[in-house]
Every structure is written in structure tokens, then in C-alpha cells.
Amino acid sequence: MIKKSLGVLLTAALATTILSACSTGQSSTGNSGSGGSSSGVTTIEFWAAPNPTQQAYWQEMAKAYESEHSNVKINVSAIKESPTSEASIQSAIAAKSAPTMSENINRGFGAQLADSKALVPLDTLDGFQDIIKERNMTNTIEPWKFADGHQYVLPIYSNAMLFGWRLDVLKELGYNEPPQTYSEIVELTKKLKDKYGDKKYLWAKADLADPTAWKRWFDFYMLYDAASGGNKFIEGSQFTGDQKAGEEVLTFVDNLRKESGLLARQVTDPFENGVGVFTDVGPWTFTTWKEKYPNLKYGENFTLSMPPVPDGMDPKDSKTFADTKGLVVYASATKEQQAAAIDFIKWLYADAANDAKWFEQTNLPPARDDLTTNDSFKAILDQQPELKPYAENVPNAIPPMDNAKYNDLQTIIGTEAFNKVVKGEISPADGWANMKKAIESALQ
Amino acid sequence: MDQRNNKMGWLFTSPYLIYSLIFFFGPLIWSFFLSVTDWNLIAPTFNIIGFENFMDALKSPSVHSAFWVTYKFMLIFVPIVTVLAIAVAVLVHGLPRFKSLFLIGFFLPYLSSGVVSSLIVKGLLSYTSPLNVFLRKIGLDIDWLGTPLSALFIVGLILAWKFTGYYALILTSGLESIDKEVYEAAAIDGVTERQRFWRITLPLLYPSLYTTLILAFGVTFGIFTEVYQLTGGGPNNATNTWQMEIFKQAFTNLQAGYASAVALLASVATFISIFIIRKLLEIWGKRNGWV
């Protein structure tokens, strides 16, 4: 009898040990069941971008809001990046432990979530239109409207991606400012190669030959947005690419390759070390440069420009890609949480000083129409003049496609056209034709 | 007595059985279920689409590449790691003292992070690295990670560097177990060093060698970190492994159903390949009279 009891006890102990090992040790942050509300206090789970600056900003804002709203508690934590932040959000939704809201959502992933009914259409929530009006972002948010007419993501920042130029090298070649058209750049490349041979390239970047989907935002799309005047490329499930603009972009890249101006190889910080004289630059780069490359000074040895345009186009009309991410509210949140979330956002963006603080702390231009005219941002732009061209071009920046298959579709741009042209494996016209065919097939 | 022993046997094996049920059998069933759906885990509705995901995967060029890349890695990694591991084991075994110390030294790469070693290699192969600057000076401009064959070799070599010490450890224990009297008898018979290795050491080492070979073949089905860090599966899918493909589909494209189908195809390919390799190794051993 004792032995039997001992056996049962041992089995129970083993089972408990194994089951407890399955626990993550974390309490659930989910919204289901509890409703996120107790004792009249509504609790919001806010997932911030996984970088310390943004996390600190949201924690500060959450505390400030809580001090004025004792009925709401906002728990700010970073989105886990293992294996990717998107996969972490997907897992959380699948496990019914999604947060109330999160930032760091790009438009393509927003489309995937919206397609899966995981997001609340923000325009259906009371107070959303007030946010747009008070934050002065009517124009900036317009291209964010999804194919079904709803707004699922509220853009927080919009980086109008620019090209950086090594001004010191340009001056050595007899230029005081960057060339702006394709033929001017090809001409510059010839001079560069004549002077430096294999020591310098126009565009040195391993990503040019890498088919990873997001890498096309920072090469193909920047050039294509400029050449096409901001054509959306894909609208809903329709391929609407501008063939003339697309072929011109690929021909430009092909001409650079023919002049040995491209180096699609692994190089440590090629632009910073002067191996490449032209590259895409986002405003987040400047913080790194200040620490790692303090000798790089805006206006002295580097400058910024909008993407070059095909010959015959006015460079002043150039458009570019918007590296932009925003806020979403998850459909699994309770009505109380959704209302509290939108109220928090409304409170936050009612005061431009909060956007100014964001801009100052992160260098990421707030997604608003009045960035260059609102006095709240003047001091920041005066102090960091390299941020001015980003602020000026927010309205000229085109956000990513809102298609749930954006990863597949953008991989096709690389594998069928861009990467192959960079390597000289296909003609621009054939690359465009193959890419179009593959994209149309994937969209079906 | 037998009945009581049976119960105790079940009791003591139950942790592993429960573990297997929870962490192996359960996920396997779940994975199979996902593979016949178009579910992305978060949509409220999904469709049972039968074997459509499998058919799509079988037609996918990137899955084809994952299948063939595994065998290409085998051809590079297995011979290199086996020769190096045998060499290290024989050398260390012949040392008069500090064997363990040397073995630990060779074993350390196995403990090192694949991410760190990949980043170091990335730096070494940079266009502006001293190695490449020197090679260009003598007229050799090699795009190490941008050329399919060299990219495969580099990943294979990193893995060989990582696993040599581990396999050498297994082989050394195999060498230690060989009776010294056999060597003494051979010495009396005037056996040369070369004959000693091929006629005595290798046959008696066969059980350990068999284990390391199976482990080495198995490794090629699970390559991920080095490829993810160095090539991302490129150029043109030349280094796209099964794990890389599953990762892309599951965590980048968020296609849980399709990724599950690819994962199941990978398991089948792994199971069949390892089964055939085991049989071939057994035939090889029997033909030579080593088993």
C-alpha cells in the first residue's frame, strides 16, 4: 500500500515538474477573459519597438498619461525580436496574449494582420478623426488608407529616405553638389573609376545582390518612386507598376554596373569608409555616426539628396520611399481597452511637444504635415540641419504596399529583376517583364 | 516480481514518455494539421486545403534548392570534418600527456556561438579586408560569399571548424578503447605505421567513426545560423537550406501552414537520407569485415 502510494506520489511529482517546466514563468498579458479592467482601472498592454530609446519614450509618455488619468494603467514592454518581431506578434495573437496596442508596424505587416481580422480599423473608433486633425497629419496619413478604405495603422514617423553622397569625394572630382539625373551620375561614375579604379565605387553595398524582401525598400523603391512620380506599384491585389519608369530604373542600375560603379560585395561600412560615395541613408544613421564616425559632418564631407531622376524629369519633382511605421490596436482588446488606447493616443498627439520629444530622442521625423512650419520642431531642425531634408520631404515619401504578400512580392523584384541586373545576368527589359509576370502570378 | 519490475520500468521511463508526448508527438500532430490548412495561426477562419501546400512546396524552386543544397553541403562538410577529426584524434591520442587539455582546445569551437564565428568570417572576407586586398594585388578578385561554390565551401568550412573537436572527442574515446596488445603484436610482426592505421586503427575505430559519420550527415539537414548570417540563403538560393526555407516561410512570410508542409518534407527527406546512409555505412563496414 505504501509502495503504491509512493508510486502515485512520484508520478504526480514528475508530472508537476514537467508541466511547470513548460511554463514561461511570465504572467499572461493577454486581454481575453479579464477584460483588462479591475477596480475601475483599465489596463493597457503597449508593445514598443525593441530599441531602448523608443521604449524609454513610451514609458515616459505612459507615466505622464497615467498621472492625469488614474483610471488607466499602461504597461509598456518591448516586442520580442526572437525570431522576428512580426513572428512574436503573430505568436502572441495565436496564443491569445496579444497586447492592446503596439507600435513598429509597417504597412505590409499591417495588411497581413488586417487580412486576418487581428486589427481594429482605427477610423471606426471614436476620437480617431480628432487625432488626425489635432496632429495635423491629414496629408501624411492619406496614402496609408488600405484597399478596403479603412485606416488600420496610425503612422508615428515617416522617414523620407534620402541618398547620402560623399561630398569630399565629389569635390575631388570637381562637383560642388550631387548630380541629380541618371546621365549625370553615370558621367560621375566614369570620372570616379578613372581616378580611383577598384578603390572606390559609386554604390558599394552587399544588399544590392541580396533578394531579402525589405532590402528593395532601400534601393529599387527609392529609385522607382522617383522615376514614377510615386506610382504605387501594387494597389490592393493589382499590379500597377509603371513599365517605363521601372525599365529606366533598371537601365540606370545596369549602366552603373557596366561602368563598374556597383560593388555588391560584403564591405565594412562602405560609405563611411569611403569605398562607396553614394548610398541610402536614414535619419537613424546619424546617432551611430556621431559615436562611430565623428569625422562625418553634414555639409563638410557628406550631404543628402532626394533620389536621382531619369533624364528629362525635373529633379524637384522627385519622390522617395517612406520608411514609416505606426501604431495599431488589436482586435482582441476589449472595448474598454480600445477606448482607453485611442484616448491615450489622442492625449499624446494633442500636444506637438510630445512629437518634438520623440523627434529629439529618436531622430525619426514625426508623421505630420507641419514638421517644417511648426515652431515646436524648429529648435531640433536648427540644431541638427541634417534632419531638415527628411522633414521637408515627408509629403514626398511613398509608404510600402499594403499587400499581405509583400514579402513574396518584394522578393520577386529582387530575384527576377533587380539582383539579376546588378549582376549583369539579365537585360533591364527582360528583368522587368519576368518580374511583372511573376508578380501577377503571385497576386492571383 | 516481474510485474513489479514492469511497473517500476514504466515509472522511470515515464518522464521521457511524457516529454516525448508533449514536445514531440503533440507538435508533430499539430504540424501535420497545419500543413493541410491555409492558416496563418491568427486568422479567425481557415480552410482545409488537403495536400495543396505539399504540392506547392514540391513545385517551389526554393524548396528544390533546399533539397539539393543539403547534399552539396554533405559532399563538402562530411569528408573535411571526418578527415580532420580523425587526424586530431590520432594526433591527440599519440600525445604523451595533456591529452584532455588539447581536446578541450579543439572542442571549444563547438561551444562558440555560430553568430559570432559567422560575423568574424564576414569581416575576414570583406572586400576591404587585408586578405582580399592582398589577393587583388596578385590578381585574384574573389567574391567569396557572392559565388555559389565558394559560398558553399565557406559555410562548409565554418561547420567543419566547429565540429572537428566534437567528433575528435568521440573518436579519441574510440582510440582509447583499442587494446594496446593489438598494436604490440603488430609491432612484433613488423607492421609499418601506414599499415597500422589502415589495418588496425581504422577497423577498430569503425564503431566510433560510424557514430560521427551519422552525426555529421545529420548536421547538414539542420544548417541555419551560418547561412542566415553570411548569405541569407543566396546567392540565387545556392546556400538555401531546409531550415532557412522553413524560417523564411514561417517567420518572414508568416505562412504557418505552408511552412509546416516544408518542415514535414524536410523531415521525410532527412529520415530517408539518414536511413540510406546508415545502410550504406553498414554495408561498407561488413564488406571490409569491420563489424
The string of DSSP letters for A35-49 reads TTEETTEEEEEEEEP
**CB-based contact, B139 to chain A, within 8 Å:** no
Query: Confidence band (pLDDT; 50, 70, 90) for B266?
Result: very high
**Contact check, Cβ <8 Å, B14/A408:** no
* Most B-contacting residue of A265, A267, A422, A426 (CB-CB within 10 A), to test interface: A265
* Residues B272 and B208 sit within 8 Å (Cβ to Cβ): no
CA angle A286, A292, A295 (to 5 degrees): 80
Q: What confidence score (pLDDT) does residue A195 get?
A: 95
Distance CA B58, CA B261 (A): 10
Nearest CA in chain B to A10: B11
Given a contact cutoff of 8 angstroms between Cβ atoms, the answer to whether A364 and A157 are in contact is: yes
Contact B18 A15 (CB under 8 A): yes
Residue A255 and residue B202: Cα distance in Å, rounded?
59
Nearest residue in B to A7, CA atom: B11
Contact B127 A263 (CB under 8 A): yes
Q: What is the pLDDT of residue A37?
A: 58
Task: Flag if A213 and B252 touch (Cβ within 8 Å).
Answer: yes
Give dist(CA A29, CA A91) in Å, integer. Answer: 13
Q: What is the pLDDT of residue B1?
A: 54
Summarised one tens digit per residue, pLDDT across range B20-29 is 999 999 999 9
Q: Taking the CA atoms of A386, A388, A393 and A395 in sequence, report the sign of the dihedral they define.
A: positive
Q: Where are the beta strands (DSSP E) in A330-367?
A: none
- Ordered DSSP codes for A105-166: E-HHHHHHHHHTT-B--GGGSTTHHHHHHHTT-HHHHGGG--TTS----EEEEEEE-EEEEE
B203 near A CB under 8 A: no
pLDDT of residue A427: 97
In this complex, which of B18, B234, B247 lies closest to A210 when CB atoms are compared?
Answer: B234
Specify whether the CB–CB gap between B63 and B57 falls below 8 A: yes
Please report residues of A whose CB lies closer than 8 A to that of B128.
Answer: 267-268, 270, 273, 275
Q: Are B126 and A266 a contacting pair at CB < 8 A?
A: yes
Mean pLDDT of B38-67: 92
For testing contact with chain A, the best of B252, B258, B260 (most A CBs within 10 A)? B252
A315 and A232 Cβ atoms separated by less than 8 Å: no
- Cα of A268 to nearest chain B Cα, Å: 7
For residue A11, count CB atoms less than 10 angstroms from its CB and return exposed for 0-12, middle for 13-18, buried for 19 or more: middle
Answer yes or no: is pLDDT of B194 > 90: no
Nearest residue on chain A to B129, alpha-carbon basis: A267
Cβ of A11 within 8 Å of Cβ of B11? The answer is yes
pLDDT reported for residue B290? 81
Q: Check A210 against B232: CB less than 8 A apart.
A: yes
Reported as half-sphere exposure (CB side, CA atoms, 13 A), residue B151 has a value of 24
Task: Say yes or no for a CB contact (<8 Å) between B252 and A84.
Answer: yes
Model-level pTM? 0.84
Peptide bond before B235: cis, by omega within 30 degrees of 0? yes
Q: Do B22 and A267 touch (CB under 8 A)?
A: no
224-283 of B, contacting A, C-beta below 8 A: 232, 234-236, 247, 250-254
Please provide residue B191's backbone torsions phi and psi, each rounded to the nearest 5 degrees. Answer: -70, 135
Dihedral Cα A144, A149, A150, A151, nearest 10 deg: 10
Residue B97 banded pLDDT, cuts 50, 70, 90: confident
C-alpha atoms less than 13 angstroms from C-alpha of B177 in its C-beta half-sphere: 13
- Mean pLDDT, consecutive 10-residue segments, chain A of 444 residues? 47 44 41 55 93 92 95 94 86 91 92 91 93 91 84 93 96 95 97 94 95 94 95 88 96 97 93 96 91 94 96 93 94 94 95 94 91 92 92 88 88 95 96 96 90
Q: What is the DSSP string of B149-212?
A: HHHHHHHHHHHHHHHHHHHHHHHHHHHHTS-HHHHHHHHHTT--HHHIIIIIIHHHHHHHHHHH
B123 touches chain A (CB under 8 A): yes
* Contact flag A90-B22 (C-beta cutoff 8 Å): no
Chain A environment of B247 (Cβ under 8 Å): 83
* Whole-angstrom distance, CA of residue A249 vs CA of residue A251: 5
Minimal C-alpha gap between B278 and chain A (Å): 34
**CA of A413 vs chain B CAs: smallest distance (Å):** 13
Q: d(Cα A216, Cα A414) in Å, to the nearest integer? A: 7
Q: Which one-letter amino acid corresponds to residue B199?
A: R
pLDDT of residue A19: 43
Name chain B contacts of A84, Cβ cutoff 8 Å: 251-252
At residue A36, the pLDDT reads 55
CB contact under 8 A, B251 and A83: yes
- Within 8 A of B42 by CB-CB distance, chain A residues are 90, 93-94, 113, 116, 118
B51: how many CB neighbours lie within 10 A of its CB?
Answer: 12
Nearest to A209 among B19, B43, B235 (CB): B235
Using 50, 70 and 90 to split pLDDT, how confident is the model at B252? confident
User: In chain B, what residues touch A115 (CB-CB under 8 Å)?
Assistant: 43
* B123 interaction partners in chain A (CB closer than 8 Å): 268
Cell representation of residue B16:
521521457
What was the pLDDT predicted at A24?
39
Q: Closest chain B residue to A90 measured between Cα atoms?
A: B42
User: Nearest 5 degrees, angle CA A326-CA A329-CA A330?
Assistant: 125
Q: pLDDT value at position A395?
A: 82
Is B140 touching A (CB cutoff 8 A)? no
Residue of B56, B59, B119, B254 to mutate, interface with A, max A Cβ within 10 Å: B254
Mean pLDDT for chain B overall: 92
Residue B177 CB partners (closer than 8 Å, separation 6+):
none
| Grid coordinates belonging to A131 | 487625432
Q: Do A18 and B236 touch (CB under 8 A)?
A: no
Per-residue pLDDT at A298: 94
Could A273 and B128 be called an inter-chain contact, meaning their C-beta atoms sit closer than 8 Å?
yes
Q: In this complex, do B15 and A18 lie within 8 Å of one another by their Cβ atoms?
A: yes
- Tell me which residue in B22, B145, B252 faces A266 most closely, judged by beta carbons: B145
Closest CB from B43, B126, B253 relative to A268: B126
User: Are A116 and B40 within 8 A, CB to CB?
Assistant: yes
pLDDT at B287 over 50: yes
ipTM above 0.85, yes or no: no
Using an 8 Å Cβ cutoff, are A78 and A48 in contact?
yes
Query: Which of B213, B216, B233, B217 has its CA nearest to residue B69?
Result: B233
Point out the residue among B42, B128, B136 whose CB comes nearest to the CB of A268. Answer: B128
Grid cell in block for residue A411: 522578393
Task: Give the integer Cα–Cα distance in Å for B82 and B97.
Answer: 24
Pick B253's closest partner by Cβ from A264, A407, A415: A407
Q: Would you call A265 and B143 a contact, using CB atoms and an 8 Å cutoff?
A: yes
Q: Pick from A303, A265, A256, A227: which is nearest to A424 by CA?
A: A256
Asked if B254's CB is within 8 angstroms of A112's CB, the reply is: yes
